[in-house]
A and B are shown apart, each in its own frame.
Chain A
Amino acid sequence: MDSPEIVQGIKARFPGSVSVSEPYPEEVCLEVDSGAFKDICLTLHKKLRSPVMMLFAVDERECLKRFTIHAVFINAKKGQWFTVTTAVPRETPSFNALATAIHSAALFEREIREMFGIEPAGNPDIRRLNLHNEVWPEGNYPLRKDFTAVEAGNSAPEYKFDRVEGEGIFEVPVGPVHAGIIGPGHFRFSVAGEPIINLETRLGFTHRGVEKLFEGMPYADASGLAERVSGDSSFAHSLACVRAFEKIFGVSVPARATYLRSIFLELERMYNHINDIGGMAVDVGFSFPAAYASIVKEAILQLNEKLTGNRYLKTTVVTGGIRHDINEIKTKILLGCLDGIRHDFDEAVKILTSSISFMDRVDTTGVLRRKTAEDLGVLGLAGRASGIALDLRSYDTGPYKKAKFKMAVEQSGDVLARLNLRIAEFRESCRLIGFFIDDLPQAKECYTTAAPKAGSGIGYTEGWRGPVLYWIKTDAKGAIERCKVVDPSFHNWQGLSYAVLGNIIPDFPLCNKSFDLSYSGNDL
């Protein structure tokens, strides 16, 4: 269904309680009465078949005497964003929870409650996510504007894990500190014999208050913090962040810069995909291809450094373009390296997939069914492995469109599907980079200067895990009033909990690696 039709339908059903605006061609904003909020969200969810992409609150008590809640959906056919906004009174901050009807809203509502003290009325699970009960007293809401310091005292109740009970059931708690060199998280398995009956994941261990740190920050500094939200997606995060500013300020980015950005985005995808392919080999104890894969990853990281001066592509992107152009010599280096990388990649993949015992471990392991993935709002690579065809790169009207970007989708939803998808995407990235270099437009300048102004908008990009979303509101000087960050990990961690059901604990690392979700991107 087309966007105008949907908007007309909603207006007719809820006369007088909706006002529509289209601040940007790809964004439709609906301001709705609080009574109609839930129904309108539900309508969009069903009509667009979109999960809740973002759901967050903004503290506007100072000037408008209210909080607002924003729910963001996507029209996957057009690449158009729908934002539904409603006011929440400051005296009795509460809104109708969406979670009972739309599961993908559940975690967002828990976050709104702990960060703002706004009650999602009707949400049955209001346990805190990031502000752990053990260290953070009740009644301190860090994202309220008047929050200054923690008031100690009335300590929070103990965190309650879901429990499976019955004969022969036992629990295996793991973490937060794990055996490998990885981020912290707590996993609690309930098992009967070998198979996992329930997995409850408790995250938040890397919570650093990122969204609060963004507040008040001048726009020019923001991408530096965005790079540090999730280190393996530095480029995707900084790109999504500056794209929000570009939208608000009305900056048009030079074509050459959009090409260069696309090249870097694909390089980031490539080093992470090969890293995960190697990681899956490690997790079944097959170290030879893993070593091969780590050589490929290292080669890409060193290539990144040669092109941008940074192995993780930090400080590369600025609002309005790219900080440093790459010259003739560098494009030659890039193409030369790419050949070697592609060759080694093919070799590593061949070693891996020609091993029958490896294929046996990944085939039909950790299945995430499509229906489950849709209900949970699983996005990006993990979603595509379960048949959800959504890749934000396909809405691009610039380089990706010209290169005829081809989205890869798998149906089976198991570890093998996620592996195959990575292999396909890696090859597609190689092809894209080759095209981008061939087609690279000539230009003297690689950025346009921005003239800051007040406004709000969504910046997005398809990082290697999936959609990285930034909703930013600026003041007249371009400083941030509110920044909501959503890394695809936030949607996808729940997917992992369902994918492992019925599998045995020794396969958990493998399932986990096949998703490879970010702790820091989730916890913020």
Chain B
Amino acid sequence: MLYIFKSRLLKGVVTRQIEPGLRGEVEAAGFQLRALITEKFGRSLHIREVDTGSCGACESEIIAANNPIYDIQRFGINFVASPRHADALLVTGPVSKNMLCALKKTYDAMPEPKFVITAGDCALDGGAFKNSYYVEGAVSKVLPVVLHIPGCPPSPLTIIQTLLAFFESGRPH
């Protein structure tokens, strides 16, 4: 503990400019996103994430969007632990047969109004797994999806920009 205090006092705020230019792009999209979220959702948008058979890279990128570099929370987007607290469901993966029931139950547990977003090629149409005997393929066959975030996996910047474009277009109603 002492070490933390000492090093913080001596070094002040640590900033990491990992990729010059990236910060500008993230913030340009992010602060517009924040304005729209404040307008549409009162203050913040709460998202519950469900993995229906993803390889894990999509999750890794969604987590990365929450790291201090992108810090999606400052734009008003929070990832929550329970579907009961969520406005939106973010689904990854090609819907393995084993996850179908859990996916539907999670959606049913969310309060209205609610909407569904998918992330990653798998969730769009099954991606690399679309010809498998054990996947349902597109999430949109199971739930009403209003937005897809493309990529395999989508980068944190893509996640932020795609959300912005979506809200800019006036949706969800």
Chain A residues with CB under 8 Å of chain B are 130-132, 134-136, 142, 147, 149-150, 176-177, 179-184, 204-210, 212-213, 224-225, 228-232, 234, 275, 288, 291-292, 294-295, 297-299, 301-302, 311-312, 314, 344, 347, 350-351, 354-356, 518-520, 523
Contacts and interface: CB of A to CB of B under 8 A. Distances in A.
Given A209-B129, A209-B132, A301-B64, A183 B153 contact: no
A468 B16 CA distance: 34
Contacts of B135: 208-209
Given A206-B96, A208-B129, A209-B132, A297 B67 contact: yes
Contacts of B82: 179
A351 B8 CA distance: 11
Contact of B81 (A150, A180, A224, A519): A180
Given A229-B55, A295-B67, 7 more contacts: A179-B82, A181-B49, A210-B132, A228-B57, A298-B18, A344-B16, A355-B1
Contact of A205 (B18, B63, B68, B96): B96
B108 to A, nearest CB: 12
A209 B64 CA distance: 28
B3 A351 contact: yes
Interface string B54-92: 111111111110011100000000010110000000000
Contacts of B102: 176-177, 184, 205
23 contacts: A134-B101, A142-B133, A149-B133, A179-B81, A181-B51, A182-B51, A184-B102, A205-B98, A206-B99, A207-B96, A208-B53, A208-B94, A208-B129, A208-B135, A231-B58, A231-B60, A288-B4, A294-B68, A295-B69, A298-B18, A312-B153, A354-B2, A518-B56
Nearest to A234: B57
Contact of A230 (B56, B62, B69): B56
A225 B96 CA distance: 16
Residue among A130, A275, A295, A344 facing the most chain B CB atoms (10 A cut-off): A295
Contacts of A229: 55
Contact of B67 (A130, A208, A298): A298
Residue among A142, A209, A350 facing the most chain B CB atoms (10 A cut-off): A209
Contact of B54 (A150, A183, A234, A302): A183
A232 B16 contact: no
Contact of A299 (B1, B16, B53, B54): B16
A206 B81 CA distance: 20
A299 B132 CA distance: 35
A231 B67 contact: no
Given A132-B97, A135-B97, A228 B59 contact: no
A520 B155 contact: no
A301 B63 CA distance: 13
A230 B129 contact: no
Contacts of B99: 176, 184, 205-206
Mostly, the A contact residues are: loop
Contacts of B4: 288, 351, 354-355
Contact of B134 (A181, A183, A207, A298): A207
A336 to B, nearest CB: 12
Nearest to A203: B98
Given A142-B134, A182-B51, A208-B96, A232 B68 contact: no
B30 interface: no
Nearest to B83: A177
B26 to A, nearest CB: 12
Contacts of A302: 18-19, 22
Nearest to B57: A231
Nearest to A299: B18
Given A295-B69, A297-B67, A302-B19, A184 B128 contact: no
Nearest to A233: B56
Nearest to B59: A181
A432 B94 CA distance: 37
Contacts of A311: 61, 155
A183 B68 contact: no
Nearest to B129: A208
Nearest to B80: A179
B33 to A, nearest CB: 19
A411 B139 CA distance: 46
Contacts of A135: 97-98, 100-101
Interface string B94-127: 1011111110001000000000000000000001
B56 A147 contact: no
A292 B11 CA distance: 14
Interface string B2-33: 11100100000010101100100000000000
B50 interface: yes
B128 A228 contact: yes
Give the 10 A-B residue pairs with the shortest CB-CB distance, closest first. A231-B57, A179-B81, A231-B55, A209-B132, A294-B67, A231-B56, A206-B53, A354-B3, A209-B134, A208-B129
